[in-house]
Every structure is written in C-alpha cells, then in structure tokens.
Structure 1
Amino acid sequence: MIARLYTDIFDLAADIRTAPDQHGLVGAFGALIGRLGPYAYSIGTIHRTDLVQRHLIGTTYPDAWMTHYVTQHYHHIDPVIDPVRHGLHPYDWKDARITTPQQQTLLHEFGEMGFRSGHAVPLQVTTGTVMLVSIASTEQQIDTRQQMAIQLAASQFHYRYCQLGLDRPQVAGTVLSPRERECLSWAAQGRDTTEIGDILAISDNTIKFHLKNALRKLGCHNRVQAAVKATCMGLIHP
C-alpha cells in the first residue's frame, strides 16, 4: 500500500512538472496534495520587505474562511506568513511566532474549522519575492514522510511556475474600474449581490456585470477568490 502511494505521488509530481499553464499547474498540485491526506493548501507569492505585495495563486481553504480572513485583515498579521523570520527553510506552523492577541485569535478561529497542524515551504521566485506553499491538516501533526512529499510537490510546483514565466504575475498591471473595486470591496466583506446593490444604489444585474468583469481581469472563478486576490495585490482595501 505504501509503495503504491509513493508511486502515485511521483506520477502526480510528474504531472505538476509538465502542466501546460497555471490552471493545470494548480490542478495537478491539488491532485497530489489530495492524495497525501486530509489537507487544504494555499499558495502565494510574498515580497520579503513589502508584505503588502502579495499574490494569491491558489487555495482550497473554505470560501467563508477566506472572506473572513480578508474582512478581518488577517493577511496583515498572519504569523505563518513571515518570510523574513523563516528564510527559505520549511517549517511547521507551531514554529510561528505569535506576538499579539489578534494572531492568537486568527489561529484559534482557523483551528475551529478542524485544522490542527500545518507545514509551510518557502521558495525563492525573485531576489525580493518568495513563494509560500502552506498546507493545513486536520491531523494532530504532519509526519516527516508527509512533509517530504509536500516539499517535493512544492519544489515541482515552483519549478514549473518559474519555467512557465509565472513569476511575472499574469494580472500585473490589472486595472479595475472604480465600480469594480467598490463591488469587490463589499464582496470581500461578505455582502451578497442584493446587499451590494442596496449600498451602491444600483441593480443586481449591474453588480453582477461589474463582478464578472473583475473576475475576468483577475483570472478568478468566483467572487471570493477575486476579492482575496485583489486584496492581496493591493487593488482593494476592505
């Protein structure tokens, strides 16, 4: 059984290495992580010195959590995201330095969803930018063999990401209209279409039109993903 598992892992790692584009790359990575265990993941790039410069590549964290995360501005205080402290060495979430009550609250709320441990793999993309692959587990801990498999998957993702030239974000230079930014900002705060329409005094169809345009520009499949990406890129400030 173990031998078969690791054969599957190497086959899936090969799929990551030959992915044709970012969509296929994220899908291949997700397939491998799903084979390893009850895990969720988040992948993004972070500037070493300007932490506002963040680019979300992909995540399987629940949409409700991502909306809450952005609404509470947790992306500014998350102790797991600390490229300066950890450098380019993989680390467990338990090694994160918690210095404020807000950080403690963040981790407590994340744990309430059933996640009990995590493992992060930082990888250099450019001189000033790090890719962070972060894995959350419902298990008490992620054992050494699983960590090695996660690091393999992360390294193959990083290799193909850079090979495809994705270190230059596809959405660089993205310009959202004022209405698109407004709609996304309210969506990031958990408002639905009707609520946004009431706030902005425009119709549901108009809201949907602006959000659809924003999703297209950002290369996202749903408004939560778009709101999170736009926030991480500094396009909106909910």
Structure 2
Amino acid sequence: MPDCDFFSWRRETLDAFQSITEACEVTTTVHRYTQSLEFDYFAFCVRHPVPFTRPKMSVFSSYPQAWLEHYQAENYFAIDPVLKPVNFMRGFLPWNDHLFVDTPALWDAARDHGLRQGITQCVMSPSRAAGLLSVSRSSLKGKLLPDDELNARLQYVAELSLMTLTRLADPSVDGLTMKLSKRELEILQWTGEGKTSAEVAMILSISENTVNFHQKNMQKKFNAPNKTQIACYAAAIGII
C-alpha cells in the first residue's frame, strides 16, 4: 500500500500523469499506481453515450490475454453489470456476489482466470463519456486501504487517465461532437421539448420551411434518420 499521506501521493500522481507525452504511457502509469494499491490488474474503459445500441468503447488493460480473449468471445460486454449505467453511476463499485447475481457465469469465469477481488471506479468527462477504471487481484489475502481512501485514490487515477487521454487528443476520447449554429441550437432545444416544426416556427418567428431546412442539416451532421434521434443524441452528449 502507498506509504505516504494522501496529499503527498496526490501531488506525486499528478506530476506523473502530467509528464506523459504519449497515450501508450497511460497504460504503464495506471498499472504502476494500481499495483501500489495492491491490485494485480487493471482495465480502463472509455465508454461513450452514443450510439445507444452499440456505444463506442476503448479499453486500456493489463489483464491476462486469456481473460481478455474469453471476455470478448463470450460477449460479456453485453451483460457485464459493471457497464450498466445504474451501477457505474454509483462511482465506487466493489465486485461481489450481489453485483453479479444475474450473471453468475461471468463472475465464475473471472475468478477462474484469477480475478477474485475487484473494484470499479467511474468518472465522467465533459462530453459525457464514462471512464471506468476496474482493478482486480488474484489473492483475497492482504489488507487494502479503507474504502473511503481507496475510493478517493482510484477516482483520482481514473480522472487523470481521462484528462491525459483528452490532453493527448487520443482517439479513444473522441466522441460525437457537433458544431451547430445559434439558430440550429435554438431549434434543437425546442425540438427536445417536444415541439413540432410548426410550433418551433411560431416560437422563433421564422417559417416552418426554415425550421425543416435546419433540421435536415442537423440530420446530416448527426447522421440521424429523424429529428427525434437528433434530440436524443444531443441530450446524451450534453449539447442540450
């Protein structure tokens, strides 16, 4: 476990992440800090809010290759409770039987691969992407830091990981971004309120044809089939 107080550790950790110049260094740095917290492995997943059915995800990991291949082959991404918003929005998420009550095969497989104790910590970026830092270890022996301090340290490592990838403009943090005009944003906001094109036209004192013209342009920008999906995507990524 770290042998320095939290604030000294925090300063040293910040310096380490600020010195990173390439994205590949994030993996080695996170691994070093999670090992100092008595964990054998880590996975840092950047999960974007859209597309809704197949959200973009990128993973940086030190997990055993056999486990990564098994996880992918079994499509555990689709059922992993750690990835459910209702769970990861809790922030500090210890792995236990209750968490995996609906996915016992996943929990059994993880332990068979040596992942017998774990925690997932979630942080959010301004673009609404979730940074999920999962740490695990093979042994149940050995004392970990108290939950509140472990929570604070894992949260800070996750935040710095996300910030560093953003600073380096790594593709993993590139989400759906849109450049909208002031008029497009106004129309989008009222569309999000459930207003029809005719109602938006009346509110903004413009023609319905103008409203439809801007909505068609936004559909192209979002690669969306209709105005409803535009509003849903915009809300998901924080534009409205």
So what's the TM-score if we normalise by structure 1?
0.59
8 Å Cα contact 2:48/2:57 also seen in 1 = no
2:115 pairs with 1:115: yes
2:140 pairs with 1:137: no
Question: For the aligned residues, what is the CA RMSD?
Answer: 3.0
**Residue 158 of structure 1 aligns with which residue?**
162
Equivalent-residue separation in structure 1 for 2:71 and 2:135 (angstroms): 16
Per the TM alignment, residue 9 of structure 1 is displaced from its structure 2 partner at its CA by: 6.8
Per the TM alignment, residue 57 of structure 1 is displaced from its structure 2 partner at its CA by: 3.2
8 Å Cα contact 2:165/2:173 also seen in 1 = no
Equivalent-residue separation in structure 1 for 2:134 and 2:110 (angstroms): 13
8 Å Cα contact 1:47/1:128 also seen in 2 = yes
Q: Relative contact order (alpha carbons < 8 A, sep ≥ 6): 1 or 2 greater?
A: 1
Q: Tell me the number of residue pairs that the alignment of Structure 1 and Structure 2 aligns.
A: 169
Per the TM alignment, residue 4 of structure 1 is displaced from its structure 2 partner at its CA by: 4.5
Taking every aligned residue pair, what percent have the same amino acid on both sides? 16
**Residue 169 of structure 1 aligns with which residue?**
172
Cα 1:89–1:171 change in 2 (3 A) is closer
So what's the TM-score if we normalise by structure 2?
0.59
Q: State the SS of the aligned residue for 2:67.
A: helix
In the TM superposition, what are the counterparts of 1:20-169 in structure 2 within 5 Å?
20-48=21-49, 50=52, 52-87=54-89, 89-94=91-96, 97-98=99-100, 100=102, 103-140=103-140, 142=144, 143-144=146-147, 145-166=149-170, 168-169=171-172
Residue segments in structure 1 that go unaligned for 5+ positions in a row: 173-238
Residue segments in structure 2 that go unaligned for 5+ positions in a row: 176-240
Cα 1:59–1:96 change in 2 (3 A) is farther
Per the TM alignment, residue 69 of structure 1 is displaced from its structure 2 partner at its CA by: 0.8
CA offsets 1:70-127 (integer angstroms, 9 cap, x no match) = 1111111111112244326222123864453xx2111111112332221112121244
8 Å Cα contact 1:42/1:60 also seen in 2 = yes
Greater gyration radius: 2
